[in-house]
Amino acid sequence: MGELEQAVLEVLWEVESPASGREVHGRLAGRDLAYTTVTTVLDRLVRKDVVVRERDGRAFRYAPRRTRAAMTAELMHEALEATAADREQALVSFVGEASAEDLAALRRALDDLS
């Protein structure tokens, strides 16, 4: 995903409810973007199945298809699938570079699954 697509998605996660293109554009005001650029990015995210779009009168409202955590997990799973032959080594490497806070969160999650 491109940097602008990521920024638009971050806005949608922040607002926590479906947002119009104008609302997203307004929250990206410091970037000096045209409104049409923002709506083009939103449409691209809809085509990529990252964002859902619903009609609201003559306009559309947009919302992320998944939570930030669910999307991050999906990306992690895709990365592991891409390294299927070295999956264990990839996990060991990931954990070896994790912060103390991340390791504590992983331990809690594994304990909860047990």
Section 13-41 average pLDDT = 94
Give me the DSSP letters along the chain.
--HHHHHHHHHHHHH-S-EEHHHHHHHTGGG---HHHHHHHHHHHHHTTSEEEEEETTEEEEEESS-HHHHHHHHHHHHHHHTGGGHHHHHHHHHHT--HHHHHHHHHHHHHH-
| Model pTM score | 0.77
pLDDT at residue 80 greater than cutoff 90:
no
Confidence of residue 90 (pLDDT cuts 50, 70, 90): confident
Confidence of residue 81 (pLDDT cuts 50, 70, 90): confident
Section 67-79 average pLDDT = 90
What pLDDT is attached to residue 82? 84
The mean pLDDT value of the chain amounts to 92
What pLDDT is attached to residue 47? 97
What pLDDT is attached to residue 105? 92
